């Protein structure tokens, strides 16, 4: 028998704690620390910088650098001398003929440029050649050819991209007081820890990359999950090993953090600038970062160093050209700027494809959630009633509900039983259900299992005792009275026992907690995928079953608990109403919250590139196609924005406004907008009864009311639309009614009116997000929204707000 648990994979056996929680936590921390040190210890085997490069780095980092000694060191290395002269010639074509010696090259470039050039060339050659040699030695070469792995070319493109972006930002914004060459070098090495981890632990680091790709994580999160250490700490260790300047070490160690979280060091702004440059490269899909999460938002990062997002984005058009030039200068897999732009677009398309796959997975999760909601609703309806249901009927409904889910998941159960214990020490009860007959095939069995403490499974047999240990842990340790005793008890009490009964070692236990001191479980032989019963949907279903079974057991034990049972029934009814209310949002929820930012960035790239293509192309058809791409991207971006408004609405900026004036202004704007030369329907405003000012967000509330009014105008009203604002005499709520005498709505449309993307219109329909957005905004103001309709008569939409008065808002603030 195995146990299903949200904390373990299928087939994994839970272990009985052998020590207090504090001791276990201490042991786990110690093991984790040893793992981190073991990983970092692997970095000591990395190749070191050449003696000449290390000396040049040391000399050029001091304020009183000795030019003559630096020049002599470079001249001693023919390869480095040739690279210096080549860089000067590429950087300054006019001076190419006059710069023929290393001395002139160093003077022309400057010490910081020499430092960045020496470091970049040395790192590329040392680690690049070492990686090639390593791949030739072992099986990693074959393993690294998969679709997800460490992309060396993309890594260096990104490294140069971050360096170029940081350098250009430092050059354009001198008020930051960051040296461009220092920014370039710090940006170039900022992600060097990734290269170091891949060099030291190639197989493990490939798992990090795959985990980040599959789960949509930032690469450092996957590194910590797999290795216990991330590339930031690995980069710091590498910087110490190579004796790099502190600004480079800190750029590798502290990069990616907000400037407010950085220690008070002299080069804080350099590190923060590299972080902004890195975020820009992620946004533009330059190179390979290994991360698959939502790219960081530029605006807050820019604001922390005193820049606007537009100022940072201003360098984007020339960034690919700068990267191509620097790659050519340093000999790092040079490519044409156009090719780099194509790579960025291809990367954006790959991300869109991945998002599509994630959407498909979430759609499947949504379908599973929908099935669970339907099962809960069906189960609740079947077990509801004025007098409740007997325990046998409740158990039968639980088994019926479970087997229905198993059939839906293509994992039918041939055996299903429910066991329960009302209180610790009381007998366990067993109800066996036969799916083929859809009924309980034996009465509940009551007995207390007893067996000698020495009884153990025979040697060589599968380990049923371990499985029951897991069940014992789930259903309160020690409450079953002995593992083999429970096995024998199940075997003896199941109908058919040894003749046709199932092998108890093949069964799975799904535990339920009824109440403190009481437990229950479903025992079955279904090969149900873990994804079907996991997370919140699993908890909701098990809680519904458990509460209903607990209620039935309490009613069976004592009629004096009728009031408590009624309260439980009300809670079940409320839970059902809440689940039904959340049915439409379950198809949007996490998809909108997680995908909104992720889709906007690729759409920005697609739209921007399409506009550039439209400007550059000569062919009229190609220009029209590019414009269509840009327009489609804009429409999709608007749709994502609307989804985001539903999933994560902004906090309202409440102000005291005149309700009648707000409604009248909105009606006038919509009336003046008209539509295609056609006379718009009349809009009547009746708001004189509301004399007090209301504390509302004028922009958001106008959006909500505008969506409702637009919906009413599309119903083809016969005489027009009426907007009436009143104050409810019973509870003082502000009540706004939008009434039309149009076609009215069907029962189906009325039921699903607030579902995102729902519309019964076949042609000229809107996105179907208007009413969901309006309801979300109203609820954001602490109100509610509902509607009534009759076909052929018209529709009324009601917006009700509590605590809307200006003076009550002021009193609340004063009390706070």
pLDDT tens for 333-357 read: 667 777 777 887 877 777 777 777 7
Nearest to 221 by CA among 232, 210, 230, 233: 230
Q: Which of 25-39, 126-140, 219-233, 704-718 has the lowest mean pLDDT?
A: 126-140
CB atoms within 10 A of CB 396: 20
CB atoms within 10 A of CB 782: 12
Q: Residue 386: pLDDT band by 50, 70, 90 thresholds?
A: low
Task: Pick the more confident residue, 703 or 449.
Answer: 703
Q: Are 391 and 552 in contact (CB under 8 A)?
A: yes
Tokens 């995908």 sit at which residue?
595
Average pLDDT over residues 220-232: 90
Average pLDDT over residues 303-325: 90
CA–CA gap between residue 93 and residue 329 (Å, rounded): 12
Q: Are 667 and 687 in contact (CB under 8 A)?
A: no
Bridge partners, 799 (sequence order): 736, 785
Q: Residue 435: pLDDT band by 50, 70, 90 thresholds?
A: confident
pLDDT at 165 over 90: yes
Instruction: Give burial (CB, 10 Å; 0-12/13-18/19+) of 366.
Output: middle
Q: Residue 146: pLDDT band by 50, 70, 90 thresholds?
A: very low
Tokens 């840009």 sit at which residue?
630
786-805 residue pLDDT tens: 889 988 889 999 999 988 88
- Rounded to 5°, the CA angle 301-307-309 comes to 70
Which pLDDT score is estimated for 499?
38
257-293 residue pLDDT tens: 888 888 888 888 999 999 999 999 998 889 888 888 8
Q: Are 470 and 14 in contact (CB under 8 A)?
A: yes
Bridge partners, 683 (sequence order): 721
Average pLDDT over residues 404-433: 84
Which of 82-91, 215-224, 476-485 holds the top average pLDDT?
215-224
Residues 6+ apart with CB under 8 A from 577: none
Positive or negative CA dihedral for 330, 336, 341, 346? Answer: negative
Q: Residue 162: pLDDT band by 50, 70, 90 thresholds?
A: very high
pLDDT at 500 over 80: no
Q: Which of 109-113, 214-218, 313-317 has the lowest mean pLDDT?
A: 109-113
pLDDT at 423 over 80: no
Q: What is the pTM of this model?
A: 0.46
Q: Coil, strand or helix: which one is 437?
A: coil
pLDDT at 460 over 70: no
Query: What are the φ and ψ backbone dihedral angles of 107, each rounded to 5 degrees?
Result: -65, -40
Q: Are 296 and 282 in contact (CB under 8 A)?
A: yes
Tokens 């060099």 sit at which residue?
199
Bridge partners, 446 (sequence order): 429
Say what angle helices 111-137 and 102-109 make with each other, to 10 degrees: 110
Distances (CA, A) of 482 to 72, 307, 475, 488, 505: 82, 68, 13, 10, 16
Among left, alpha and beta (phi > 0; psi -120 to 50; other), residue 444 is: beta
């Amino acid at each position: 028998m195995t146990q299903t648990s949200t904390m373990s994979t299928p087939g994994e056996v839970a272990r009985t704690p052998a020590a207090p929680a504090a001791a276990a936590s201490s042991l786990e921390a110690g093991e984790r620390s040893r793992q981190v040190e073991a990983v970092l210890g692997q970095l000591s085997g990395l190749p070191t910088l050449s003696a000449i490069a290390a000396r040049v780095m040391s000399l050029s980092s001091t304020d009183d650098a000795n030019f003559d000694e630096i020049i002599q060191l470079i001249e001693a290395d023919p390869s480095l001398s040739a690279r210096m002269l080549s860089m000067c010639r590429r950087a300054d074509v006019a001076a190419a003929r006059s710069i023929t010696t290393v001395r002139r090259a160093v003077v022309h470039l400057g010490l910081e440029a020499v430092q960045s050039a020496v470091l970049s060339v040395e790192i590329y050659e040392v680690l690049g050649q070492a990686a090639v040699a390593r791949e030739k030695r072992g099986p990693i070469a074959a393993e690294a050819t998969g679709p997800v792995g460490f992309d060396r070319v993309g890594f260096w493109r990104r490294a140069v991209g971050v360096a170029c972006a940081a350098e250009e930002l430092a050059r354009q914004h001198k008020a930051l007081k960051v040296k461009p060459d220092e920014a370039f070098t710090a940006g170039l090495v900022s992600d060097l820890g990734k290269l170091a981890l891949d060099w030291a632990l190639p197989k493990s680091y490939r798992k990090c990359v795959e985990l980040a790709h599959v789960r949509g994580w930032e690469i450092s999160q996957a590194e910590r999950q797999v290795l216990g250490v991330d590339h930031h700490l690995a980069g710091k260790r590498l910087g110490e090993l190579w004796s790099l300047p502190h600004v480079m070490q800190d750029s590798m160690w502290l990069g990616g953090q907000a400037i407010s979280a950085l220690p008070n060091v002299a080069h804080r702004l350099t590190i923060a600038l590299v972080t902004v440059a890195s975020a820009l490269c992620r946004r533009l899909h330059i190179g390979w970062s290994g991360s698959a999460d939502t790219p960081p938002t530029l605006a807050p990062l820019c604001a922390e160093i005193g820049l606007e997002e537009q100022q940072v984005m201003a360098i984007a058009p020339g960034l690919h050209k700068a990267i191509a030039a620097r790659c050519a200068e340093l000999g790092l897999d040079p490519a044409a700027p156009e090719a780099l732009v194509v790579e960025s677009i291809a990367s954006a398309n790959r991300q869109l494809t991945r998002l599509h796959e994630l959407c498909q997975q979430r759609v499947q999760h949504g379908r599973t959630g929908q099935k669970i909601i339907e099962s809960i609703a069906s189960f609740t309806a079947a077990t509801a009633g004025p007098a409740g249901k007997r325990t046998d009927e409740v158990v039968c409904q639980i088994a019926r509900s479970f087997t229905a889910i198993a059939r839906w998941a293509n994992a039918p159960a041939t055996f299903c039983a429910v066991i329960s214990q009302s209180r610790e020490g009381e007998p366990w009860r067993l109800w066996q259900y036969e799916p083929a007959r859809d009924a309980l095939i034996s009465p509940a069995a009551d007995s207390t299992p007893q067996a000698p403490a020495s009884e153990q499974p025979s040697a060589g047999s599968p380990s049923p005792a371990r499985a029951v240990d897991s069940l014992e842990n789930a259903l309160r340790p020690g409450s079953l009275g002995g593992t083999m005793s429970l096995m024998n008890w199940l075997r003896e009490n199941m109908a058919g026992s040894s003749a046709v009964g199932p092998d108890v070692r093949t069964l799975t236990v799904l535990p339920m907690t009824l109440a403190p001191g009481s437990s229950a479980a479903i025992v079955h032989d279904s090969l149900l995928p873990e994804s079907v019963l996991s997370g919140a949907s699993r908890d909701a279903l098990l809680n519904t079953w458990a509460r209903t079974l607990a209620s039935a057991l309490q009613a069976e034990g004592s009629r004096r608990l009728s009031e408590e049972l009624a309260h439980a029934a009300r809670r079940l009814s409320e839970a059902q109403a809440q689940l039904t209310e959340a049915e439409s949002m379950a198809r949007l929820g996490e998809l909108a919250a997680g995908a909104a930012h992720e889709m906007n960035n690729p759409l920005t790239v697609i739209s921007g590139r399409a506009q550039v293509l439209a400007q550059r192309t000569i062919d009229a058809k190609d220009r029209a196609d590019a414009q269509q791409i840009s327009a489609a991207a804009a429409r999709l971006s608007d749709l994502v924005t609307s989804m985001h408004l539903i999933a994560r609405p902004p906090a309202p900026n409440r102000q005291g406004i005149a309700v009648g004036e707000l409604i009248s202004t909105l009606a006038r704007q919509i009336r003046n907008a008209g539509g295609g030369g056609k006379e718009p329907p009349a809009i009547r405003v009746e708001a004189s009864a509301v004399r007090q000012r209301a504390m509302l967000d004028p922009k958001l509330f106008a959006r909500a009311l505008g969506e409702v009014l637009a919906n009413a105008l599309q119903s083809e009203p016969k005489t027009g639309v009426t907007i009436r604002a009143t104050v409810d005499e019973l509870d003082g709520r502000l009540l706004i009614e939008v009434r039309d005498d149009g076609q009215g709505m069907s029962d189906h449309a009325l039921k699903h009116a607030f579902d995102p993307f729902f519309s019964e219109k076949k042609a000229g329909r809107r996105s179907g997000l208007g009413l969901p957005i309006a309801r979300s905004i109203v609820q954001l103001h602490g109100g509610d929204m509902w509607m009534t309709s009759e076909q052929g008569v018209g529709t009324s939409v009601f917006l009700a707000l509590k605590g809307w008065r200006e003076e009550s808002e002021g009193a609340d603030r004063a009390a706070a």
